[in-house]
Structure 1
């Protein structure tokens, strides 16, 4: 069973790698700094629709009446993983699969296994999941053009995806037939994946300048093409991977983001709203056409109906990208070499695989130079959903190459070893000035 689970996850991740900043996977330095505007990292343009205006040196922009271009080089991009608060999930599923396929159980052995694994399944139904995610820019993106009078145009193209596999629990029954004793359950492994290509076009402009500071406003139009998949197999039939009950659909929609930034000499305040229009994306039907199926495929199809009746699943499903409001603040000192920053989502939103996110991030950074690497460190917490706490670190080498990673403070045992429940890694090469 453990081997099969690893194969399923490998399939999920390979699919993800083939596909505004996803709420489930901060891109680039945002995994350390948070969703804050920082002209040293052009990927931070995702933090606020008004940010692209600040991705240029102001003096250089003034000296180029025809305007300036700035673009990404490679990335950033990365991956993340998260598991539920349940130790040795794969080992327990391995044991459960074995006992479900055992036709030589005694009555006492069956009763003992029923008691043991009913407890496990109840816990697995609450915390038994594995999630992987990936997100990153297509090479050369984002692309910015700033005109000294008319503002800044921004173009970005992001590939992103997430996949989550979890356990749907059902009580184990002891079945006596023809002199043999076996165990039966509809407990299943259920997965959802959401792959997306997002093309964004933004415009930002300074609309006010006083002695106290500058006001920059921005807007962004995003066109999103999503591939949404669901699949289910009973634990007993997990080896028959060609017989899973599956659905697949493509769905396209658009979203609008708005942002504002107030900037003084050393302090920045920002606010934004993403998915202003709350676009909807559609999964295909799961568990339809059971009458024409046989064997394990029929069992899996009928099992969908079982979990629909218990309100654990629905045959048809939609994903609504809910509106989210966020704020940011940062301050620089020591001639801009050091900074502190924070970002906060004001409300929680749910992603396409039903996980809830609302990020709080506090961080500090030193920018370094060509010889001395830049360094940043931060703390983040998902205020909703899992409520996991993270420690995040990042490094910049030669003013171009960025490496950021973070890990959760909560741990879980995997193969007897204590490991973080969640981690993120991002790597990329960005232009700088």
Structure 2
């Protein structure tokens, strides 16, 4: 059980390494949502029809591209305000001197019975604490970036827009799996409380290269608007890793297992996701729809609990969780199809925009968390290089954690973009201060709109 404190440290320190999960928006899209905004290049990645709108038809330059980033970093944790106190409570229970329980015993058999009762009571208390904290004891950390100069959008003379995009993203999720707590009673001098509760880590790294094409497909009349259509193929190379370390396994360091899960023990596979999109755009509004991953590509997962030696405690514990159905032996990942609708209204000069987007269904990311975003935003982008662009938004995950965020961003000199978001739910840290359960920050530099 002395691994319990190591688990707490590893769970909280896992925030120093990780990356951006799939199904998380990037850059100013975290504030603006999935609704396309011509002034914000990051929104070109959501709807395959959006790149067509990113290059102004009145401009002589047919290109638009990123320069650096955006680079996004995020952290999310469960509702674990009292995790440190509960772990200390477990340690106190485990370290109890069971010989104190036999005071007043009338015989050797009576002493043994009293000691066993005390040990069983301790095991029950530990079991109850682990069950209580296991569901919420997790930390998920992320970082992502686009390859320099991506995305690149080129609009041809016949008004077709080609897009090349490339990004690297990843995620690390550390959690606790609650298992059985038992007593190991040899004699009155050797009484131990043991558990197969374990630290469980999942990692995913995604190298994504996207190829898109969009164009105007219908224009009934000059003043009514026009229909833009688009298609995009995303080539994903995804590396998935998993590690399980029993809390009472003294032969495995949690930090080493986590590092191996992300590198040496990960499994890589490649798949292509196909996206379709359409946008109806008029002078003062637009509406759109995106069908992402319509072919639902699959990616290989990592096997746990195979070829276990009798002395390999963590491997055998993993087998137990697999047998009970709490874990899959080999967890493949399917990039599920998701439908997103979007809309916006703009001022006459296109400076002010009120926008919203909504995912019609939930999907799981590579580490099993569900996402279904709903987002609303308001933004201002002027024509002056010296007045900053401003935006503010609110988004909520309608599935999974159901976390909601308030976000804000600004654009300086039409190129430098900074966005920050914090969750509206809080947890209490070790000093008794309330901190957001999740936070996100992004910084990027791109060509002017």
Give the structure-1-normalised TM-score. Answer: 0.90
> 1:124-181 CA deviation, whole Å, 9 max, x = no partner?
2221111112222111100111102050110000111111111110132233212222
Q: Does 1:138 align with 2:152?
A: no
Residues of 1 paired with 2:402 and 2:250: CA distance?
31
Deviation larger for 362-371 or 161-170: 362-371
Give 1:320 shift.
0.6
Secondary structure of the corresponding residue to residue 161 of structure 1: strand
Q: Is the 8 A contact 2:11 2:138 kept in 1?
A: no
Change (3 A) 1:366 1:3: farther
Equivalent residue, structure 1, for 2:412: 397
Pairs within 5 Å for 1:235-250:
235-237=247-249, 240-241=252-253, 244=257, 247-250=265-268
Query: Using the alignment, how far apart are the partners of 1:221 and 1:6 within structure 2?
Result: 41
**Larger CA deviation: 398-407 vs 254-263:** 398-407
- Superposed CA RMSD in Å reads 2.3
Out of 423, 427, 430, the position equivalent to 2:443 is 427
Instruction: Tell me the equivalent position of 1:74.
Output: 68
- Cα shift readout 1:360-419 (whole Å, capped 9, x = no counterpart): 001111224422222211111111111112111111122111111111111112212211
Partner deviation per Cα, 1:284-318 (whole Å, 9 max, x = no partner): 21111113x63xxx000000111112211011111
Structure 1 residues 114, 145: CA separation in 2 closer, same or farther (over 3 Å shift)?
same
Task: Tell me the matched-pair count.
Answer: 419
Aligned residues of 2:372 and 2:399 also touching (Cα < 8 A): yes
The residue that corresponds to 1:302 in the other structure is 316
Gaps of 5+ in 2: 100-114
Other structure's SS at 2:239 match = strand
Residue in 1 that maps onto 2:338: 324
Aligned-residue offset at 1:110: 4.2
C-alpha change, 1:225 and 1:10, in structure 2 (3 Å) is farther
**Contact 1:28–1:76 under 8 Å retained in 2:** yes
The equivalent residue for 1:418 is 434
Map of 1:129-278 to 2, 5 A cutoff? 129-179=138-188, 180-209=190-219, 210-211=221-222, 212-237=224-249, 240-241=252-253, 244=257, 247-278=265-296
The structure with the largest alpha-carbon Rg is 2
Counterpart Cα distance in 1 of 2:299 and 2:334: 6
Alignment check: 8 A CA contact 2:14 2:174 kept:
no
Mean CA deviation greater in 366-375 or 69-78: 366-375
Indicate the SS of the match to 2:208. strand
Q: Deviations over 1:32-53 (max 9, x none)?
A: 1101111111111112000111
Match of 2:388 in 1: 373
Question: Cα distance 1:185–1:32, how it changes in 2: closer, same or farther (>3 A)?
Answer: same
Specify the SS of the correspondent of 1:285: coil
Work out whether residues 103 and 182 of structure 1, in 8 Å CA contact, stay in contact via their aligned partners in 2: no
Deviation by residue 1:236-287 (Cα, 9 ceiling, x = unmatched): 2378317749642111111100000110011111101000100001112111
Deviates more, 1:164-173 or 1:190-199: 164-173
Could you give the per-residue CA deviations for residues 66-107 of structure 1, whole angstroms, max 9, x where no partner exists? xx222101111211111112323244335535755x484444
CA distance in 1, matches of 2:64, 2:196: 55
For the residue of structure 2 that corresponds to 1:300, the secondary structure is helix
C-alpha separation between the residues in 2 aligned to 1:51 and 1:110?
64
TM-score, normalisation: structure 2: 0.87
Matched, 1:122 2:131: yes
Q: Which moved more, 1:107-116 or 1:139-148?
A: 107-116
- C-alpha contact 1:278 1:320 (8 A) present in aligned 2: yes
Please give the secondary structure, in 2, of the residue aligned with 1:303.
Answer: helix
The alpha carbon displacement at 1:8 in A equals: 6.1
Tell me what 1:49 maps to.
Answer: 48
For 1:341 and 1:238, locate their aligned partners in 2 and report how far apart those are by CA, in whole Å: 54
Task: Provide structure 1 residue ranges, at least 5 long, that are not aligned to the other structure.
Answer: none
Q: How far has the Cα of 1:2 moved from its partner?
A: 5.3
